[in-house]
Amino acid sequence: MENYLWTERYRPRKLEDYVFTDDNQRNQIYSWVKDGNIPHILLSGSAGVGKTTLAKVLFNELDIDNYDILEINASRDNGVDFIRERIEGFVSTMPFGKFKVVLLDEADYLSHNAQAVLRGLMETYASTSRFILTCNLPHKIIPPIHSRCQSFHIDKTDLTEFTARMAQILIHENVIFDLDILDNYVRATYPDLRKCINAVQLNSSEGSLLSTVGNGNKKSDDYKVDAIALFKNGKFRDARKMIASQIRPDEIDEMYRWFYDNLDLWSPTEEGQDQAILIIKKAMVDHTLCADPEINLAAAMIELSQVNV
C-alpha cells in the first residue's frame, strides 16, 4: 500500500468538495469567495468536523499566497509573549497579496491575557490582516473576540453521510470491507471523521478492512471498535472488561458521551433508551464524587447492560 496519509489525500481542497451542514453557512462563504474577501472568522465544533479544512479551502479559493499565511496551534503556543512576538511580527508587515491570514487552531487554549492581546491585533491590523480562529469550546473565547468575528458553529455530519464518505474512501483505495465492520469503526469514532479515516487506514494494510477483535494486534483507540463488536453480539461483560482495562483516565469523561451517542447498543426501543439516558446521567454525576472513576464507569456499564428493552 502506498505510503501516504488518507486524511490528507481526502481532505477537500475546493468548496464544491466540502460538505456543509448548514445552507446559510454555505451561501455566506460562497459570497465571500465571490467578493474575494473575508472577515475575521471564528469556527467552532467538535474535533474532526472540518473546521481547519474549511479554513484551508478558503485559502485555496481566495488564492492567498503561502507567504501571507501563518498557521499556529494554540494548544502548544498560547501565551502573551508568543502572541506578541510571532503573530504581531507577522501581521505588522505588508502582505504580498490583498491581505495576510492568521489561522489559529484550538484558540480556546489561549489564556485570557493572550486573547486580550489578540483582540488588539485583530483591531489594529484589520486593514491588512484577517484572523481565522478554530475552537471546540466557543464559551472559552472572550466576548470582545466574538464581537469582532463572524462566528460559525459547524455541526457534526449526518451519520449516514459520514458512513457513505468512509465507504467511498475504502472503495477508492480498493479495500474490501464488510458494512457491519465499517459500522464498528464509524460508531467508535463518530463524529470525528479524521479519527475514523486514520483508524480505517491503520487496519486496511492487507487490502481488506479488519475486525480488530481477536486479531492479537491492538492499536491506539481500537478498543472502542472491539467493544462495539462485542456489544452488538451481546457480550456486555467482555466489552466492559476490555474498556475498563484499556481506557485512559482522561478519556473517561468523554466515554459517557459515547454511550449516549450509541443508545441503540443498550436497547432497540425508545423506552429502553430512555432508561439508558437516566443511567448515563446518574453515572456522570457520580463520576465527580467517586474516588475511583474506573469503578464508576464499570458500574455504569453493568447497569446499561441490564436495561429492560
Whichever domain contains 19, its CATH number is 3.40.50.300
Rounded CA gap, 228 and 231, in Å? Answer: 5
Judge if 258 and 309 occupy the same domain: yes
Judge if 128 and 184 occupy the same domain: no
Judge if 86 and 133 occupy the same domain: yes
Judge if 173 and 88 occupy the same domain: no
pLDDT of residue 169: 95
pLDDT of residue 2: 60
Judge if 56 and 142 occupy the same domain: yes
Domain boundary among 104, 121, 153: 153
In this structure, what C-alpha cell is assigned to residue 85? 512576538
- CATH number for the domain including 209? 1.10.8
- Is the Cβ–Cβ distance between 157 and 195 less than 8 Å? no
Flag whether 222 is in a domain.
Answer: yes
The length of the chain is 309
pLDDT of residue 216: 47
- Is the Cβ–Cβ distance between 257 and 292 less than 8 Å? no
Judge if 208 and 289 occupy the same domain: no
Domain boundary among 212, 236, 260: 236
Flag whether 78 is in a domain.
Answer: yes
In this prediction the pTM is: 0.78
Flag whether 99 is in a domain.
Answer: yes
pLDDT of residue 309: 66
Domain boundary among 100, 127, 153: 153
Which parts of the chain register pLDDT below 70? 1-2, 212-221, 309
pLDDT of residue 212: 64
Flag whether 242 is in a domain.
Answer: no
**Residue 265, domain extent:** 247-309
Flag whether 241 is in a domain.
Answer: no
Judge if 58 and 106 occupy the same domain: yes
Judge if 145 and 161 occupy the same domain: no
Judge if 197 and 109 occupy the same domain: no
Going by C-alpha positions, the residue among 72, 79, 73, 69 that lies closest to residue 129 is 69
Domain count, the chain: 3
pLDDT of residue 3: 74
Q: Kindly report, residue by residue over 156-207, the tens digit of the pLDDT.
A: 888 898 999 999 999 999 999 999 999 999 999 998 899 999 999 988 877 8
Flag whether 189 is in a domain.
Answer: yes
Flag whether 1 is in a domain.
Answer: no
Judge if 213 and 128 occupy the same domain: no
Judge if 10 and 149 occupy the same domain: yes
Flag whether 181 is in a domain.
Answer: yes
Judge if 147 and 21 occupy the same domain: yes
What does the mean pLDDT of the chain come to? 90
